[in-house]
């Protein structure tokens, strides 16, 4: 059994402790931080596999912390917030979060999302060792090393971004609807997750396209979905 380390970052002690109880029931080791600065210190010392991160915190908020984390690490990040507005969700996803849970939440729902993200992260890290490589002109995805390059230059993708790009590149020319992308990548039913997919696609474009507004590789088919151009 894989031993996972999850970092819970929230300025409310009761929330940190409650999440810890449920995660420990899943045999997950829990590290806890009160704010973004403490989280960065723990990340520098411990091998963390996933972060549960509140947005509103003193000293360093979740948005700033996520931005700093993404400069170094691609581990899954699930954001928490007491707000339910789409703008908060989009902001969190834009800076690199993989998922989003609105307070108040059912602990078992959060645990399910944690397990789902850990499965994807682990499957990505333990991808079968082959020489498989998918290439579209200057865009190359190597399934052996789990790397993406554009014209020979490395591109840093999160686990979720990689899985989306892998799905599209494995099926070059095929148009995937937003619903299908979500269900294939997130492995759960699609429930009004249009913004979630759109934000991830936009982040991928910003990393692989010279001009994201006039993409060479990742195309939108209006009213239908997305595809990788052959």
> What domains lie within the chain, and their CATH numbers?
5-125 (3.40.50.2300), 133-228 (1.10.10.10)
21, 65, 76: which is closest to 186 by C-alpha? Answer: 76
Q: How confident is the model at residue 1 (pLDDT cuts 50, 70, 90)?
A: very low
Distance CA 98, CA 159 (A): 8
Instruction: Kindly report the three-state secondary structure assignment for every residue of 134-147.
Output: EEECCEEEECCCCE
CA angle in degrees (0–180, nearest 5) for 129-1-3? 95
- Could you tell me the pTM of the whole model? 0.63
pLDDT single digits (tens) 147-201: 899 988 889 999 999 999 999 998 888 999 999 999 999 988 888 777 889 999 9
Distance CA 90, CA 199 (A): 7
What average pLDDT does the segment 57-77 reach? 89
pLDDT of 84: 64
């Amino acid at each position: 059994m894989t031993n996972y380390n999850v970092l819970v970052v929230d300025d409310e002690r009761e929330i940190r402790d409650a999440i810890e109880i449920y995660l420990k029931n899943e045999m997950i080791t829990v590290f806890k931080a009160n704010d973004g600065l403490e989280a960065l210190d723990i990340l520098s010392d411990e091998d963390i596999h996933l972060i549960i991160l509140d947005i509103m915190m003193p000293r360093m908020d979740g948005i700033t912390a996520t931005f700093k984390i993404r400069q170094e690490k691609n581990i899954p990040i699930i954001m928490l917030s007491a707000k339910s507005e789409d703008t908060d969700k989009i902001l969190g996803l834009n800076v690199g979060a993989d998922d989003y849970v609105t307070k108040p939440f059912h602990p078992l729902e959060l645990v399910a999302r944690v397990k789902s993200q850990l499965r994807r992260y682990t499957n990505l890290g333990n991808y079968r060792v082959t020489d498989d490589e998918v290439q579209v002109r200057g865009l190359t995805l190597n399934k052996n090393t789990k790397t993406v390059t554009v014209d020979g230059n490395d591109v840093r993708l999160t686990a979720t971004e990689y899985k989306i790009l892998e799905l599209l590149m494995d099926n070059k020319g095929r148009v995937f609807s937003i619903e299908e992308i979500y269900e294939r990548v997130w492995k759960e039913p699609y429930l009004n997750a249009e913004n979630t997919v759109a934000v991830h696609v936009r982040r991928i474009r910003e990393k692989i396209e010279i001009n994201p507004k006039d993409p060479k590789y990742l195309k939108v088919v209006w009213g239908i979905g997305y595809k990788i151009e052959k």
